[in-house]
């Protein structure tokens, strides 16, 4: 005697359970960008900053270093300036939502020779 194939109701229940598991796993995991793309977003935010351009007196950026986590050091002509990557406060107040990291930059004061 051959076993009968599962009925349509059983397949619907199994598909629903699988869908719930996938949705639950996706809700728990924060879908951060891969490091390459996150770093690119951080650098773009630095380059787009009007505050940074004013602090550097519109001098072109000669070098960008990353001496530590969420810290960049900018050199423009005779001036050096540290930039911090800071999580947006609204992002940390809410439960983890899927998507890229929400942040803003904070520019320190330039040190010019």
pLDDT digits (tens, 9 = 90+) for 49-108: 999 999 998 899 999 999 999 999 999 999 999 999 999 887 555 666 677 889 999 999
- In the block, tokens 């728990």 appear at 28
pTM, to two decimals = 0.66
Neighbours of 68 (CB within 10 A): 10
Cβ-contact 23, 82 below 8 angstroms: no
Return the structure tokens found at 55: 């602090």
Q: For the residues 42-47, what does the mean pLDDT come to?
A: 96
Instruction: Encode pLDDT of 8-31 as tens digits.
Output: 676 665 555 555 444 444 433 445
């Amino acid at each position: 005697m051959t076993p009968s194939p599962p009925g349509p109701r059983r397949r619907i229940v199994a598909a629903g359970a699988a869908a719930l598991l996938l949705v639950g796993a996706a809700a728990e995991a924060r879908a951060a960008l891969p490091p390459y793309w996150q770093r690119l977003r951080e650098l773009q935010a630095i380059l787009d900053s009007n505050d940074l351009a004013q602090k550097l007196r519109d001098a072109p950026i000669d070098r960008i270093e990353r001496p530590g986590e969420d810290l960049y050091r900018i050199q423009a002509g005779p001036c050096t300036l540290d930039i911090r990557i800071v999580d947006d406060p609204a992002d940390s107040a809410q439960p983890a939502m899927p998507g890229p990291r929400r942040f803003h930059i904070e520019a320190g004061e330039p040190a010019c020779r």
